[in-house]
Amino acid sequence: MKVLSLNVRGFAVKGKFGWVRNICISEKPFVAVFQETKCGTIEDGWVNALWGGPNFGYVQKEATGSSGGLLCIWDSNEFDIIDCNGCENFIAIRGRWVRSGQESVIVNLYGPHNDRGKKALWDSLEQLINSVDAPWLLVGDFNEVRMAEDRLNSQFIQGRADIFNEFIVRCGLIEIDINGRKFTRISDDGLKFSKIDRFLVNNSFLQLWSDLSVIALDRHLSDHCPLILRDKIIDYGPKPFKVFDEWFNCEEVDKIIMEAWMQPIRGSRKDCNFRDRLKNVKLALKDWSSRKFGGLDKEIEAFKKKQRNRN
Protein backbone atom coordinates (compact mmCIF):
# COMPACT_ATOMS: atom_id res chain seq x y z
CA MET A 1 0.00 0.00 0.00
CA LYS A 2 1.26 3.45 -0.88
CA VAL A 3 -0.38 6.87 -0.59
CA LEU A 4 1.18 10.04 -2.03
CA SER A 5 0.33 13.51 -0.69
CA LEU A 6 1.53 16.90 -1.93
CA ASN A 7 0.52 20.51 -1.63
CA VAL A 8 1.41 21.20 -5.24
CA ARG A 9 0.82 24.98 -5.01
CA GLY A 10 -0.59 25.23 -8.51
CA PHE A 11 -0.27 22.82 -11.42
CA ALA A 12 -0.03 25.68 -13.90
CA VAL A 13 3.46 26.69 -12.74
CA LYS A 14 6.09 25.83 -15.36
CA GLY A 15 7.51 22.34 -14.87
CA LYS A 16 5.11 21.47 -12.03
CA PHE A 17 2.95 19.02 -14.03
CA GLY A 18 5.98 17.08 -15.30
CA TRP A 19 7.54 16.94 -11.84
CA VAL A 20 4.38 15.49 -10.27
CA ARG A 21 3.92 13.11 -13.21
CA ASN A 22 7.43 11.74 -12.70
CA ILE A 23 6.67 11.13 -9.01
CA CYS A 24 3.45 9.27 -9.84
CA ILE A 25 5.18 7.09 -12.44
CA SER A 26 8.23 6.28 -10.31
CA GLU A 27 6.44 5.75 -6.98
CA LYS A 28 3.29 4.07 -8.37
CA PRO A 29 1.01 5.06 -5.46
CA PHE A 30 -2.28 3.28 -4.88
CA VAL A 31 -3.81 6.66 -4.04
CA ALA A 32 -2.50 10.19 -4.64
CA VAL A 33 -3.96 13.33 -3.07
CA PHE A 34 -3.08 16.91 -3.96
CA GLN A 35 -3.83 20.21 -2.26
CA GLU A 36 -3.79 23.73 -3.72
CA THR A 37 -4.17 22.49 -7.27
CA LYS A 38 -5.48 25.94 -8.33
CA CYS A 39 -7.33 24.12 -11.12
CA GLY A 40 -10.78 24.56 -12.56
CA THR A 41 -12.61 21.55 -14.01
CA ILE A 42 -10.13 18.96 -15.25
CA GLU A 43 -10.65 16.27 -17.90
CA ASP A 44 -9.88 12.56 -18.09
CA GLY A 45 -7.02 13.09 -20.54
CA TRP A 46 -5.29 15.52 -18.21
CA VAL A 47 -5.50 13.06 -15.28
CA ASN A 48 -4.40 10.19 -17.54
CA ALA A 49 -1.26 12.13 -18.49
CA LEU A 50 -0.54 13.04 -14.85
CA TRP A 51 -1.13 9.51 -13.58
CA GLY A 52 0.85 7.88 -16.37
CA GLY A 53 -1.66 5.18 -17.20
CA PRO A 54 -5.31 4.42 -17.93
CA ASN A 55 -6.29 2.48 -14.77
CA PHE A 56 -7.47 5.29 -12.51
CA GLY A 57 -10.39 7.07 -10.96
CA TYR A 58 -10.45 10.60 -9.61
CA VAL A 59 -12.51 13.24 -7.90
CA GLN A 60 -11.74 16.92 -7.46
CA LYS A 61 -12.78 20.04 -5.59
CA GLU A 62 -12.31 22.94 -7.98
CA ALA A 63 -10.28 25.94 -6.90
CA THR A 64 -12.03 29.14 -5.88
CA GLY A 65 -10.62 31.66 -8.31
CA SER A 66 -6.86 31.18 -8.19
CA SER A 67 -6.69 29.60 -4.74
CA GLY A 68 -7.37 26.19 -3.22
CA GLY A 69 -8.44 23.12 -5.09
CA LEU A 70 -8.23 19.45 -4.11
CA LEU A 71 -7.64 16.36 -6.23
CA CYS A 72 -7.76 12.65 -5.38
CA ILE A 73 -6.59 9.99 -7.85
CA TRP A 74 -6.55 6.25 -7.24
CA ASP A 75 -5.36 3.14 -9.03
CA SER A 76 -8.58 1.32 -9.92
CA ASN A 77 -6.72 -2.00 -9.74
CA GLU A 78 -5.88 -1.33 -6.08
CA PHE A 79 -8.70 0.83 -4.70
CA ASP A 80 -12.37 0.54 -5.63
CA ILE A 81 -14.34 3.70 -4.88
CA ILE A 82 -17.73 3.37 -3.17
CA ASP A 83 -18.72 6.97 -2.56
CA CYS A 84 -17.32 10.38 -1.66
CA ASN A 85 -18.35 13.61 -0.03
CA GLY A 86 -16.76 16.75 1.27
CA CYS A 87 -16.84 20.49 1.55
CA GLU A 88 -14.63 23.45 0.75
CA ASN A 89 -11.64 22.16 2.72
CA PHE A 90 -11.73 18.39 2.27
CA ILE A 91 -12.73 15.47 0.11
CA ALA A 92 -13.54 12.14 1.80
CA ILE A 93 -13.49 9.06 -0.40
CA ARG A 94 -14.76 5.72 0.87
CA GLY A 95 -13.54 2.67 -0.98
CA ARG A 96 -12.37 -0.90 -0.81
CA TRP A 97 -8.79 -2.16 -1.09
CA VAL A 98 -9.04 -4.64 -3.94
CA ARG A 99 -6.49 -7.13 -2.62
CA SER A 100 -7.94 -7.47 0.88
CA GLY A 101 -11.54 -6.47 0.30
CA GLN A 102 -11.34 -4.17 3.35
CA GLU A 103 -12.99 -0.76 3.31
CA SER A 104 -11.28 2.51 4.27
CA VAL A 105 -12.10 6.20 4.24
CA ILE A 106 -9.37 8.53 2.97
CA VAL A 107 -9.70 12.26 3.60
CA ASN A 108 -7.70 14.72 1.50
CA LEU A 109 -7.74 18.08 3.28
CA TYR A 110 -6.37 21.59 3.08
CA GLY A 111 -6.72 23.44 6.36
CA PRO A 112 -7.88 27.08 6.51
CA HIS A 113 -5.56 29.80 7.76
CA ASN A 114 -8.01 31.49 10.15
CA ASP A 115 -9.03 30.20 13.58
CA ARG A 116 -12.75 30.05 12.86
CA GLY A 117 -12.21 28.06 9.69
CA LYS A 118 -9.88 25.61 11.45
CA LYS A 119 -12.38 25.03 14.27
CA ALA A 120 -15.19 24.47 11.78
CA LEU A 121 -13.08 21.97 9.84
CA TRP A 122 -12.11 19.97 12.94
CA ASP A 123 -15.77 19.88 14.05
CA SER A 124 -16.97 18.72 10.61
CA LEU A 125 -14.35 15.98 10.44
CA GLU A 126 -15.09 14.79 13.96
CA GLN A 127 -18.77 14.52 13.16
CA LEU A 128 -18.00 12.62 9.96
CA ILE A 129 -15.59 10.21 11.68
CA ASN A 130 -18.11 9.48 14.44
CA SER A 131 -20.79 8.72 11.85
CA VAL A 132 -18.83 6.02 9.99
CA ASP A 133 -17.21 3.06 11.75
CA ALA A 134 -14.31 2.33 9.42
CA PRO A 135 -10.54 2.54 9.04
CA TRP A 136 -9.75 6.26 8.59
CA LEU A 137 -6.81 8.04 7.00
CA LEU A 138 -6.63 11.84 7.15
CA VAL A 139 -3.90 13.30 4.98
CA GLY A 140 -2.88 16.64 3.53
CA ASP A 141 -1.86 20.15 4.48
CA PHE A 142 -3.49 20.78 7.87
CA ASN A 143 -2.06 24.31 8.08
CA GLU A 144 -1.53 23.67 11.78
CA VAL A 145 1.23 22.39 14.02
CA ARG A 146 1.02 20.25 17.15
CA MET A 147 3.94 21.61 19.18
CA ALA A 148 6.44 24.44 19.26
CA GLU A 149 9.14 22.22 17.72
CA ASP A 150 7.02 22.01 14.55
CA ARG A 151 7.93 25.62 13.71
CA LEU A 152 11.17 27.50 13.18
CA ASN A 153 11.41 31.27 12.72
CA SER A 154 7.63 31.65 12.77
CA GLN A 155 5.08 32.26 15.50
CA PHE A 156 3.76 29.33 17.52
CA ILE A 157 0.31 29.79 19.08
CA GLN A 158 -0.31 27.30 21.88
CA GLY A 159 -4.09 27.72 21.85
CA ARG A 160 -4.37 26.68 18.19
CA ALA A 161 -2.16 23.65 18.76
CA ASP A 162 -4.23 22.65 21.80
CA ILE A 163 -7.46 22.73 19.79
CA PHE A 164 -5.86 20.67 17.02
CA ASN A 165 -4.44 18.11 19.45
CA GLU A 166 -7.76 17.82 21.27
CA PHE A 167 -9.46 17.07 17.95
CA ILE A 168 -6.89 14.33 17.25
CA VAL A 169 -7.41 12.76 20.69
CA ARG A 170 -11.22 12.90 20.55
CA CYS A 171 -11.22 11.16 17.16
CA GLY A 172 -8.79 8.47 18.32
CA LEU A 173 -6.25 9.39 15.66
CA ILE A 174 -2.54 8.57 15.61
CA GLU A 175 0.11 10.40 13.60
CA ILE A 176 2.55 8.38 11.51
CA ASP A 177 6.01 9.89 12.00
CA ILE A 178 7.96 11.19 9.03
CA ASN A 179 11.34 9.54 8.54
CA GLY A 180 14.37 11.71 7.88
CA ARG A 181 12.66 15.10 7.82
CA LYS A 182 11.63 17.44 10.64
CA PHE A 183 9.74 20.03 8.56
CA THR A 184 7.47 19.60 5.54
CA ARG A 185 7.27 23.20 4.34
CA ILE A 186 9.89 25.90 3.77
CA SER A 187 8.93 29.47 2.91
CA ASP A 188 9.97 30.95 -0.42
CA ASP A 189 12.74 32.98 1.21
CA GLY A 190 14.10 29.87 2.90
CA LEU A 191 13.82 31.34 6.40
CA LYS A 192 10.64 29.83 7.85
CA PHE A 193 10.15 26.11 8.46
CA SER A 194 7.06 24.22 9.59
CA LYS A 195 5.57 20.77 9.85
CA ILE A 196 1.99 21.18 8.67
CA ASP A 197 1.63 18.18 6.32
CA ARG A 198 0.90 14.85 7.97
CA PHE A 199 -0.86 11.48 7.98
CA LEU A 200 -3.35 10.68 10.76
CA VAL A 201 -4.92 7.23 11.11
CA ASN A 202 -7.18 5.45 13.58
CA ASN A 203 -6.59 2.05 15.16
CA SER A 204 -8.78 0.29 12.59
CA PHE A 205 -6.51 1.54 9.82
CA LEU A 206 -3.45 0.35 11.73
CA GLN A 207 -5.00 -3.11 11.95
CA LEU A 208 -5.09 -3.21 8.15
CA TRP A 209 -1.56 -1.85 7.72
CA SER A 210 0.51 -2.47 10.85
CA ASP A 211 3.96 -1.50 9.55
CA LEU A 212 3.30 2.00 8.24
CA SER A 213 6.02 4.55 7.64
CA VAL A 214 6.21 7.98 5.99
CA ILE A 215 9.06 9.27 3.86
CA ALA A 216 9.53 12.79 2.51
CA LEU A 217 10.82 13.41 -1.01
CA ASP A 218 12.70 16.51 -2.18
CA ARG A 219 10.56 19.67 -2.49
CA HIS A 220 11.93 20.75 -5.86
CA LEU A 221 9.10 22.85 -7.38
CA SER A 222 6.83 23.35 -4.37
CA ASP A 223 7.34 24.86 -0.94
CA HIS A 224 6.01 21.57 0.46
CA CYS A 225 7.65 18.14 0.43
CA PRO A 226 5.87 15.27 -1.29
CA LEU A 227 5.04 12.71 1.41
CA ILE A 228 4.57 8.99 0.89
CA LEU A 229 2.80 6.67 3.33
CA ARG A 230 3.69 3.03 2.79
CA ASP A 231 3.36 -0.30 4.54
CA LYS A 232 6.88 -1.41 3.74
CA ILE A 233 9.33 -2.30 6.50
CA ILE A 234 12.67 -0.67 5.79
CA ASP A 235 15.42 -3.28 5.55
CA TYR A 236 18.76 -1.89 6.59
CA GLY A 237 20.55 -5.11 5.65
CA PRO A 238 22.10 -7.79 7.83
CA LYS A 239 23.66 -6.87 11.14
CA PRO A 240 27.48 -6.88 11.14
CA PHE A 241 27.44 -9.76 13.61
CA LYS A 242 25.31 -11.26 16.36
CA VAL A 243 26.29 -10.59 19.95
CA PHE A 244 24.98 -12.62 22.88
CA ASP A 245 24.86 -11.15 26.38
CA GLU A 246 26.33 -14.34 27.83
CA TRP A 247 29.59 -13.73 25.96
CA PHE A 248 30.39 -10.74 28.16
CA ASN A 249 30.39 -12.92 31.22
CA CYS A 250 33.57 -14.50 29.84
CA GLU A 251 36.79 -12.69 30.75
CA GLU A 252 38.55 -13.44 27.46
CA VAL A 253 35.98 -11.68 25.25
CA ASP A 254 37.43 -8.17 25.73
CA LYS A 255 40.89 -9.39 24.76
CA ILE A 256 39.59 -11.21 21.67
CA ILE A 257 37.73 -8.12 20.43
CA MET A 258 40.66 -5.79 21.05
CA GLU A 259 43.18 -8.05 19.31
CA ALA A 260 40.90 -8.51 16.30
CA TRP A 261 40.20 -4.76 16.09
CA MET A 262 43.90 -3.89 16.16
CA GLN A 263 44.88 -6.22 13.33
CA PRO A 264 46.55 -4.34 10.43
CA ILE A 265 44.17 -3.13 7.72
CA ARG A 266 45.22 -2.34 4.17
CA GLY A 267 43.55 0.51 2.32
CA SER A 268 43.07 4.24 2.52
CA ARG A 269 39.29 4.71 2.70
CA LYS A 270 38.11 5.18 6.26
CA ASP A 271 34.71 3.60 5.66
CA CYS A 272 36.32 0.47 4.20
CA ASN A 273 38.80 0.31 7.08
CA PHE A 274 35.94 0.43 9.57
CA ARG A 275 34.07 -2.28 7.66
CA ASP A 276 37.14 -4.54 7.54
CA ARG A 277 37.81 -4.12 11.26
CA LEU A 278 34.25 -5.21 11.97
CA LYS A 279 34.78 -8.24 9.75
CA ASN A 280 37.90 -9.16 11.73
CA VAL A 281 35.98 -8.89 15.01
CA LYS A 282 33.13 -10.94 13.57
CA LEU A 283 35.43 -13.75 12.43
CA ALA A 284 37.33 -13.78 15.73
CA LEU A 285 34.15 -13.97 17.82
CA LYS A 286 32.66 -16.59 15.53
CA ASP A 287 35.76 -18.78 15.85
CA TRP A 288 35.92 -18.28 19.63
CA SER A 289 32.21 -19.00 20.09
CA SER A 290 32.46 -22.17 18.03
CA ARG A 291 35.36 -23.42 20.14
CA LYS A 292 33.83 -22.48 23.49
CA PHE A 293 30.15 -23.21 22.95
CA GLY A 294 30.13 -25.41 19.85
CA GLY A 295 29.60 -28.58 21.85
CA LEU A 296 26.59 -27.32 23.80
CA ASP A 297 24.02 -28.72 21.37
CA LYS A 298 25.55 -32.19 21.68
CA GLU A 299 25.68 -31.90 25.46
CA ILE A 300 22.02 -30.84 25.62
CA GLU A 301 20.97 -33.71 23.36
CA ALA A 302 23.01 -36.18 25.44
CA PHE A 303 21.38 -34.87 28.62
CA LYS A 304 17.90 -35.23 27.11
CA LYS A 305 18.71 -38.79 26.04
CA LYS A 306 19.98 -39.60 29.53
CA GLN A 307 16.78 -38.28 31.07
CA ARG A 308 14.62 -40.31 28.67
CA ASN A 309 16.53 -43.47 29.55
CA ARG A 310 15.96 -42.85 33.26
CA ASN A 311 12.21 -42.53 32.66
Q: Choose the CATH number for 2-230 among 3.30.365.10, 3.40.50.970, 3.40.50.80, 3.60.10.10.
A: 3.60.10.10
**Is the backbone of residue 69 left (phi > 0), alpha (psi -120 to 50) or beta?**
left
| d(C-alpha 37, C-alpha 60), whole Å | 9
- Which residues does 221 contact at the CB level (< 8 Å), separation at least 6? 13, 15, 16, 19
> What is the predicted pLDDT for the residue at 38?
95
What are the residue ranges spanned by the domains of the chain?
A: 2-230, 245-310
- Element housing 7 (H / E): strand 2-7
pLDDT, one tens digit per residue, over 29-53 is 999 999 999 999 999 999 999 999 8
pLDDT, one tens digit per residue, over 163-174 is 999 999 999 999
- The whole model's pTM is what? 0.74
> What is the predicted pLDDT for the residue at 283?
87
Q: Which among 278, 194, 288 is positioned nearest to 247, based on CA atoms?
A: 288
Kindly provide the b/e burial profile for residues 138-149, where b requires at least 16 CB atoms within 10 angstroms of the residue's own CB.
Answer: bbbbbbbbbeee
> What is the predicted pLDDT for the residue at 274?
80
pLDDT, one tens digit per residue, over 164-218 is 999 999 999 999 989 878 999 999 888 999 999 999 999 999 999 878 999 999 8
| d(C-alpha 102, C-alpha 111), whole Å | 28
